[in-house]
A and B are shown apart, each in its own frame.
Chain A
Amino acid sequence: MISRLRYTFREMWASLSRNLTLTFAAVITSTVSLFLFGMTLLIQEGFDNQLSEWTGGVEMIVYVKHGATPDQITYLEGALLSQTSVVQSAEYCDEACSADLATTLLAGDPGALEQLLPGIPSLFKVTPIDQGSGAVLRSLKAEFESLPNVVDVKTPDEAVETLSQLKSFFGVRTLVMSVVLLLASALLIWNTIRTAMFARRREIEVMKLVGATNWFIRLPFMLEGLLQGIAGATLGSAFLLFVNNDWTKGVRGFPDNSGLAGFVVTDSYPVWVCFAMIVLGALVGAVGSATAASRFLDV
């Protein structure tokens, strides 16, 4: 067992270092493709954060005065829901919930957040019966504004619509691009392993003749591919974390009214994305090398 491990790692290492150019190309391609994949996820998350008020068909937000009593809130809910031909639901989000939302939206503008939190209003997320009644809902804006304890009524502006469109535009295209690049890196790893096996065909011939099992012959090559995938993913992850950090810092320097204070990802999400990238990189490496190793090893 020990001698087998020693053999496997020695051969893998020898093959890696003999094949530096190809290994380098395969690793770089995995780096770029996995970086792009991670970037896609992060950008989507950024959009989601920026648009977090408006998810689930919400088309109007009614802000309620900080410190409003339960009775006052119940009254307001009744008033909102009385518009039965337009309003489907009015979901209440209390002050703690509202603070969470603000934290996401103002992640890139800590100063503004600090000012807002002490007197934070609670809010109702109002969903119209269907998309078509959104305009009708907006026409009720003035009426809702005049209700007692309502401090503000907000409807999505053009910027929000633009962002939604951008989100789906980027989402599809960058995802397709990263899948294509991932395929390319699997192919490159496949080719690297094939080349490595071809370079060692004499050894492989001897191994087969003296009765080495196919798994024994394959294993170092498969590990080599796996390692390339993981190396690419690790580099890509490091790069992604760096870029994310840089962007977040950049957003904090934007003017206050840029409307992009929520367009950052500051929680543990990037770490999960990196984890996904490494799993994906390992998978791409394993699949690429396993196909090559099986394909060129007929008994």
Chain B
Amino acid sequence: MIKLENVHKIYSTEVTALRDATFEIAKGEFVFLVGPSGSGKSTLLRLMNRQERPERGAVLVAGRNINDMPDAKVPYLRRNLGNIFQDYKLLANKTVFENIAFALEVIGRPRHVIRQQVPAVLDLVGLGGKQERFPHQLSGGEQQRVSIARAFVNRPLILLADEPTGNLDPATGEGIMRLLDRINKTGTTVVMATHDQRIVNMMRKRVIQLDRGTIVRDQARGVYE
């Protein structure tokens, strides 16, 4: 599903964010990216949805090298990827329903599809009765659920999550992890960058560890260390 071959990412002459990164993620896998701050986790995720391009090496998503994909094709790539962030990136002036509907609307989904899919995905993330609320009327965990619903409503092949539990207390974070696990069980590949030792140890999934841009460990059913 995702394959990196000798990827180098250099932001400036002083900062080499990734050095010779090579790994492959199969369809339906759940992978943690761990490592200290600044080790290149977010950079890896941003390479996978073409927010960044590497200086060297290939990034293949669903068999295609996305680095030489023309700009005009990138939106269609992204429709197969869901993104989740530590800060949720919800639109404050839109309700829960509108936030998710917006994501469908801007890729041209017709209204009847939106009316049917948004409530369904809200049920899935456990926010059934809260679709008319605004983000500020929700707890952090609930806001993250909205953002997961938005990322998942299109049934993407891959979810890219950058520290989705970073702002949440342990119990709420665990709830989010159970949700991501459930989504993963539907066949969606999940790649998640995290600092959260407890969560990594709890889930026992594959762990790719980075240190200053180099992959230092790639372990199936790993722990944080």
Contact = CB atoms under 8 A, between A and B. Distances in A.
Interface of A: 2-4, 7, 202-203, 205-214, 216-217, 299
Candidate in B89, B106, B109 with the most chain A CB atoms within 10 angstroms: B106
A217 B78 CA distance: 15
Nearest to B76: A211
B106 A7 contact: yes
B106 A212 contact: yes
B72 interface: yes
B167 to A, nearest CB: 17
Contacts of B72: 213-214
Interface in B87-117: 89, 91-92, 102-103, 105-111
25 contacts: A2-B110, A4-B108, A7-B106, A202-B92, A203-B91, A203-B102, A205-B89, A206-B89, A206-B103, A207-B102, A207-B106, A208-B78, A209-B78, A209-B83, A210-B83, A210-B150, A210-B154, A211-B75, A211-B76, A211-B78, A212-B106, A212-B107, A213-B75, A216-B106, A299-B74
B225 interface: no
Nearest to A4: B108
B105 A214 contact: no
For the complex of A and B, the 10 pairs showing the least CB-CB separation, nearest first, are: A211-B78, A211-B79, A212-B106, A210-B103, A211-B75, A213-B75, A299-B71, A207-B106, A209-B83, A299-B74
A7 B106 CA distance: 8
Q: In terms of DSSP, what is the predominant structure of the interface of chain A? A: helix
Interface string B55-83: 00000000000000001101111110101
B84 to A, nearest CB: 10
Contacts of A206: 89, 91, 102-103
Candidate in B79, B108, B110 with the most chain A CB atoms within 10 angstroms: B108
Contact of B49 (A4, A207, A209, A217): A209
B137 to A, nearest CB: 18
A211 to B, nearest CB: 4
B89 A7 contact: no
A205 B89 CA distance: 9
Interface in B201-217: none
B91 A212 contact: no
A61 to B, nearest CB: 65
Nearest to B147: A206
Contacts of B50: 299
A225 to B, nearest CB: 20
Contacts of B108: 3-4, 216
A209 B92 CA distance: 17
A106 to B, nearest CB: 62
Contacts of A217: 106
Contacts of A205: 89
Given A212-B75, A213-B72, 18 more contacts: A7-B106, A202-B89, A202-B92, A206-B89, A206-B91, A208-B75, A208-B78, A209-B83, A209-B89, A210-B79, A210-B83, A210-B103, A210-B106, A210-B150, A211-B77, A211-B79, A216-B107, A299-B71
